[in-house]
Amino acid sequence: MIALLETQDVDFKIRFEELLKRGAMDILSVEGRVKELLESIKQKGKNAVVEQVSRFDNWEPKDFLDLKISQTQMQEAYEKLDTKLKKALQKAYERIYAFHSKQLPKTWLDFEENGSILGQKVSAVDRAGLYIPGGKAAYPSSLLMNAIPAIVAGVKEIVVCTPTPNNEINPLLLAAMHLCGIKEAYKIGGASAIGVMAYGCEELQKVDVISGPGNIYVATAKKLVFGEVNIDMIAGPSEIGIIATPKAKVEYLAWDLLSQAEHDEMASSILITPSQSLAKEVALKIDEFLQQLPRKEITTNSINQRGAVIVTKDLDEAIFLMNQIAPEHLELIVENPLEILPKIKHAGAIFIGENTPEPIGDYIAGPNHTLPTGGSAKFFSPLCVDHFMKKSSIIAFSQQAIQELGEDCGILAHTEGLDAHQNSVLVRLNQK
């Protein structure tokens, strides 16, 4: 059964601290192996990638070109889709595109009275690399969530890498690639994919930014290549936090907690409520529903090892604890949720009301489902258009502007002991 905690318990503080450590990934334990894989790709290029795919994915590509996914494969998969599935995929694309279009930053210029011009130029990166997980499950939705912000940003070249154990690839993922207009995709997974996108090889030009979730090897590789390329974030296992009051429907809460637990054994599902009776009912209902799930073993391990239901003295204490947790997904199933929204300080995505289950955000609501995990919502934001763009400052001084500000600038430069800086400015003063 899922762990039941009460804030009045003698050992609550200790047990709650363990929950806060849920996002800790022992990167040190795999860092050495990941470094070896990345260094091999640096030194041997495409040959290293082929060797690594043969080693980890249980099939033997003949050469690097054998790893490429053709646009024909993508198109055929899309055309074979069931009509209803194709319609759902298209609807998801349209909603995600519409939401991210509202995020698009703009270039701007400010013309000052003294003739100077200050501003900001916004432009897309040239080339983006998307990592789409595979293995235990395939995630076409992750392709949409990572590709569409890049498309909206105006990225001209998008590369997709995804693992294909036994050389098998999910047809819906192929269909999603076609829908997104992907022209370059490879059957490469894990740290190998991150390495080849970051460093490039003969057949695959390096990218400027890498986005997409993955396991500890992917997360470690992203951390190690940061600086060589930009990355979205270092994301860990999926998680959900729910704040619920006594009137919340038990069935809703149980299924919502299970919706994250079925991702993998390391996923976290946490309910916080001031109602002891609700807490116990939800725990029992989770055990009942678990028996119905095809991924029962994975889900059970997640619930038993990483799940918790916490009973608080009141709603304010529930909010306080949830802000400490800073969950990836946060559901507010309470009366008047908009009234407590200002008190929520840390969450990747906030789902308001009983008719907004977290999975609606995974697929079709519109906002991105690539979110900060493990408490990193305290300082990271969801994947967005900005991750695929960069900003350049614009500065243009008139003769009047340099006359007005040059002396002050020179004083500041001289104070820092940078005389060439000072002279670079002063030489322009009193010049006609």
**169-200 pLDDT, tens per residue?**
999 999 999 999 999 999 999 999 999 999 99
Structure tokens belonging to residue 140? 């076409």
Helix, strand, or coil here: 202? coil
* Residue 8 CB-density burial (10 A; 0-12 exposed, 13-18 middle, 19+ buried): exposed
Instruction: Determine the angle formed by the axes of helices 190-199 and 46-56, rounding to 10 degrees.
Output: 170
* φ, ψ for residue 127, nearest 5 deg: -145, 125
Multiple choice CATH, 3-24+236-365, 3.40.50.1980, 1.10.10.10, 1.10.10.60, 3.40.50.300: 3.40.50.1980
Q: Is 329 annotated as a binding residue?
A: yes
Q: Is 414 annotated as a binding residue?
A: no
Q: Is 238 annotated as a binding residue?
A: yes
pLDDT band at residue 1, thresholds of 50, 70 and 90? confident
Helix, strand, or coil here: 136? coil
Q: Is 260 annotated as a binding residue?
A: yes
Instruction: Supply the residues annotated as catalytic.
Output: 328-329
287 pLDDT more than 90: yes
Q: For residues 99 and 352, give the distance between their C-alpha atoms in angstroms, rounded to a whole number.
A: 17
Query: Taking residues 136-164, what's their average pLDDT?
Result: 93
Structure tokens belonging to residue 270? 């946490």
Q: C-alpha angle 29/30/32, rounded to 5°?
A: 100
Nearest to 381 by CA among 149, 124, 130: 149
pLDDT in tens, 210-268: 999 998 999 999 999 999 999 999 988 899 999 999 999 999 999 999 999 998 898 99
Domains in the chain: boundaries: 3-24+236-365, 27-107+124-233, 397-430
Q: For residues 283 and 290, give the distance between their C-alpha atoms in angstroms, rounded to a whole number.
A: 11
pTM: 0.93
Residues 6+ apart with CB under 8 A from 343: 316, 319, 323
pLDDT in tens, 344-384: 999 999 999 999 999 999 999 999 999 999 999 999 999 99
Helix, strand, or coil here: 404? helix
CATH fold for the domain made of 27-107+124-233: Rossmann fold (3.40.50)
